[in-house]
Amino acid sequence: MLWEAFTKRFRHGHLTVLGPGRRAHRIGDGEGPEIVIGVRDWATLLRIALNPELRFGEAYVDGGIVFEAGDLADFFALYERNREAAPPQPGRLARLVLPLRRRWQQANDRRRSRANVAHHYDLSEWLYRLFLDREMYYSCAYFAHPGMTLEEAQAAKARHIAAKLLLRPGQSVLDIGSGWGSLALALAADAGVSVTGVTLSAEQLGVARRSATARGLADQVVFELKDYRDVAARFDRIVSVGMFEHVGAPNFDRFFAAVRARLADDGVALVHSIGRHDPPGTTNPWMRKYIFPGGYVPALSETLAAVERAGLWVTDVEILRLHYAETCRHWRARFLARAGEACRLYDERFVRMWDFYLAASEAGFRYGDLMVFQLQLSRRVDAVPVTRDYIAAAEAAQAPRPTRRSGRAR
């Protein structure tokens, strides 16, 4: 029983687990580079065996397991490949209790939503500055071309979203989940729109307001500590990037009803969210407990059903597949390069926890069932052009011009 947590999940690959006493247990078919994990004691092994989805991550963070060959990235790549080869099949009881579990885990009313946001986003801004780009975008970048830097890909993401919003100078924009203000400030500066950003993070709010003042945009961009359910005004455009994952399935209808109510009759909305390519499910227990309490990665099927019930038109859908894998790869490399600074901000245990989070996320997007979807929504069928050509044209018009080199041609 103690080894089933590994043997049931790793039919392929070359995994060796060194139990207490250093006895080696070889798991998989032996193909590929070897990954060696040392387990500190029998109590750790028992906890993993009883609840591997939660306890394996806890054991890594607490130092109960160590990698003696390979690392977290190698392990998660192997895990996801085995999961793809033999996806878990929930039993009948699990399927029956799924709706109840989701309703309990994702009952994100106003009070609980603020507490959930504070758990993750009210950490020190200096932690995030260790690994994010200069503008502090904390969402999937858009790698439009090979070899782009993280800064270039995040700027490209902002242009991609702006193009889909069909912005014109003087329009009003609502940014739901405005974070540190990166996107709101970019839209205001580049398109001449006025933006109201709402967030539940006091830490992010302070950074966003200081940034708006520093860039001379405080009269054009307003940031508020407010729940999206409490916004009363209507806007020409609505954008929400990386926030829908915190809404929770029981609140999908209310979210899209709010989008419709706050959107002008001829308005356009853009929702950018992590999604899953398999049916609706639940959140990994380790991620839910330590990283994103109340969070949930939605299936496109349940999301679109809520959009339909809200009476909104879906005018465009785009799936970004490997872009977030590359984003997480950049984030993790930057974080590990400055792990000593993160340790001084918090401690070694926190550094291991954050590394586990970033490594698991990259593998989920690169090998697992995670992707990102962008939904363009409107109240009217004719709110946007009937073909997608305008998106590429607008992006090209806003793209930075290549620098011309001086000197004679040879």
pLDDT digits (tens, 9 = 90+) for 167-182: 999 999 999 999 999 9
pLDDT of residue 81: 86
Tell me: pLDDT of 404 over 70: no
- Average pLDDT estimate for 11-23: 90
| Residue located via tokens 């946001």 | 117
CATH number belonging to domain 4-85: 3.30.1050
Q: Where are the domains of the chain?
A: 4-85, 110-398
Average predicted confidence (pLDDT) for the chain = 92
Q: What share of the chain is helix, strand, coil (3-state, %, to 5)?
A: 50, 20, 35
Tell me: pLDDT of 325 over 50: yes
Please, which pLDDT band fits residue 108 given cuts at 50, 70 and 90?
confident
pTM of the model: 0.92
How far is it, in rounded angstroms, from Cα 367 to Cα 115? Answer: 32
pLDDT of residue 104: 67
Please, which pLDDT band fits residue 21 given cuts at 50, 70 and 90?
confident
Task: Spell out the CATH class of 110-398.
Answer: alpha beta
pLDDT of residue 99: 66
How far is it, in rounded angstroms, from Cα 59 to Cα 79? Answer: 17
Tens digit of pLDDT for each residue in 208-238?
A: 999 999 999 999 999 999 999 999 999 999 9
Please, which pLDDT band fits residue 5 given cuts at 50, 70 and 90?
low
Q: 400 or 147, which is more confident? A: 147
* Both tokens assigned to 166: 């069909």
CB atoms < 10 A from the CB of 57, how many? 24
Q: 405 or 402, which is more confident? A: 402
Q: Where are the alpha helices (DSSP H) in 323-388?
A: 323-337, 339-345, 348-366
| Contact yes or no for 350/370 (Cβ under 8 A) | no
Tell me: pLDDT of 22 over 90: no
- Average pLDDT estimate for 62-91: 84
- Average pLDDT estimate for 153-172: 98
pLDDT of residue 86: 57
Residue 304 phi, psi (nearest 5): -65, -30
pLDDT of residue 161: 98
Long-range Cβ pairs for the range 62-65 (8 Å, 24+): 62/349, 63/349, 63/352, 64/39, 64/40, 65/37, 65/38, 65/39, 65/40
Tens digit of pLDDT for each residue in 253-285?
A: 999 999 999 999 999 999 999 999 989 988 999
